[in-house]
A and B are shown apart, each in its own frame.
Chain A
């Protein structure tokens, strides 16, 4: 068996607004559009993924929050409806998801061996979180590849963003090892926004783009600093400043996704592909990808 590999890493924010604005048949709500900068960026990245040969998507989500270790989806099928607890007016999505349970178990075992507390989730009534669904829908609306969802352990709450960074990094390394041993080609997804201060009110028409802007300029400046470092291929530096970035912008990096993905990919020193940046209800959202193959790597934006 040949060695498995990570064929692409994606930073894929999951405001349910982008799925809402697409009006897929799975979602009950209806929108008149909105957030095109993000959606069109997603479309382009989805087209790139169509050209990549891969077996599964592995996604790290902030919306399956666990305090007792890191959990992995551990049943082959999940079919239900996901209703966003914060934006139920926008997101009521009927899903039918296949899971690569073998890969999930291999990652779980490798993480356990590395000393990380882990658990397989095998309750058939469990609802898959909307972060997973939004990011995966936007990257692969056909849902024709199995996924693995990894929960986010809330080390940042219990200890500090520094501890979170260490733990998420260790988890990333363990997952990379498991992927290598699996012989599979895997796309990693880190599902989150950058700066993450929300407006606490919503306009009557949520997709009214005349109302959409970043919460404040400081959030924007921080987000742009990260984008600049990503363009320069300085991912080690990005991960090193994540604790400060997280604190200053209440960033959704607090869950550990970006650190996990970058550690799994060996902290890329090549440029990220930038697909779009836009605010959603005040938060800063970036779509980016890291392509380890220098022949297919592009300057997108």
Chain B
């Protein structure tokens, strides 16, 4: 059996800035903030030597971009929530890991590059996560983008490449996915104290997904990704990718101890802070027949084949 990399645990957390900037505007924002803070303590106690973040609010086009500036520093302002305040940041990035991750991507057929530019605009989701999970930069981090056009095969291979890099460098890693559950926000400005999930349907789906998380059934969520996308994701991108990446990075199974630390509305969208710790106890009840992918071969050229 594959001697996997040492992944201490995974975290799923929301990208919106309220838990960072306005936690007292709504008791739910505060609960999410407390969820982040519990994760922060667990990370500090874990002996982790890298935090690897996959952020759905960092879209890329030219392959997969990996942050490799040793100390990205800027003051960020969110496009929608600029009135909540600015987000100054200064992060410590593990540049060796970034380079290795890029190489591992290439080894698996992915187009990938590191980015290391002063003033590069790190996205809201990554900033919220790193500022709350690792406020004193005690542990070096790395961030990978979410390619706009990537779909299942490419995203799973991207996760496996992360696994390769963690294993090769013998790191003890905490992996973080920054993503909403349902991502439909209210399209008007609301009083934050009246925030709620946009619709009953979104709420029900979120709760169903959280049941799976709670039972540690990460691979099952990964397999349900397309359904989730169709049901509760506003189509900004082609697919709901974070579950694919997280499951592929963490080993594609259902044997985790899941803990849903908070589930609350963020301007209508579903925000949850979840921890998944590898375990030997929980058991899934499904088998899957969708092909597993080891190497990315690119598009299948469907358009240029057959009679047009």
CB of B62 within 8 A of CB of A200, answer yes
Whether B111 and A126, one on each chain, are in contact in the complex, defined by CB atoms closer than 8 angstroms, is no
Tell me how far the C-beta of A14 lies from the nearest C-beta in chain B, rounded to whole angstroms.
14
* B79 and A123 form a contact (CB under 8 A): no
Note all chain B residues with C-beta closer than 8 A to A119: 83, 189
The smallest beta-carbon distance between B78 and chain A, in angstroms, is 9
Instruction: Kindly state whether residue B86 has any CB partner on chain A within 8 Å.
Output: yes
Q: Which of A69, A92, A123 has the most CB of B within 10 A?
A: A123
Known contacts A69-B188, A69-B189, A198-B61, A92 near B79 by CB under 8 Å: no
Which interface residue of B80, B115, B234 has the most chain A CB atoms within 10 A? B80
The stretch that binds A, out of B36-44, B117-125, B251-259, is B117-125
A81 contacts B119, C-beta separation under 8 Å: yes
* B82 CB within 8 Å of chain A: yes
Please state if A83 and B121 are interface contacts (CB–CB under 8 Å).
yes
B241 interface residue per 8 A CB criterion = no
Contact A127/B77 with A68-B187, A158-B184 known, Cβ cut-off 8 Å: yes
Where chain A touches its partner, the secondary structure class is loop
Chain B residues contacting A66 (CB-CB under 8 Å) are 79-80
A154: interface (CB < 8 Å): yes
Interface size on B, residues (CB 8 A): 36
Taking a contact as CB atoms under 8 Å apart, the answer to whether B234 and A117 are in contact is no
> A64 in the interface, Cβ–Cβ < 8 Å?
yes
- Is B280 an interface residue, CB under 8 A from the partner? no
The answer to whether A86 and B60 have CB atoms under 8 Å apart is: yes
Contact of A88 among B86, B115, B234 (CB under 8 A): B115
Interface residue from B86, B111, B235 paired with A200 (Cβ < 8 Å): B111
Report if A65-B121 is in contact (Cβ < 8 Å); known contacts: A86-B62, A125-B86, A200-B61: no
Question: Is B168's CB within 8 Å of the partner chain A?
Answer: no
- Residues of A with C-beta under 8 A to B80: 66-68, 71
Please give the residue numbers on chain B whose beta carbons come within 8 Å of chain A beta carbons, in ascending order.
58-63, 75-77, 79-80, 82-83, 85-86, 111, 115, 117-121, 123, 147, 149, 184-189, 234-236, 267, 303
Among all A-B residue pairs, the 7 with the closest Cβ atoms: A125-B86, A123-B82, A126-B77, A81-B119, A88-B117, A125-B75, A83-B119
Selected A-B contacts with CB under 8 Å, 23 pairs: A68-B187, A68-B189, A69-B189, A71-B79, A83-B118, A85-B123, A86-B60, A86-B62, A88-B120, A92-B117, A92-B118, A117-B189, A119-B189, A123-B85, A125-B75, A125-B86, A127-B77, A127-B121, A157-B235, A158-B184, A158-B187, A200-B61, A200-B111
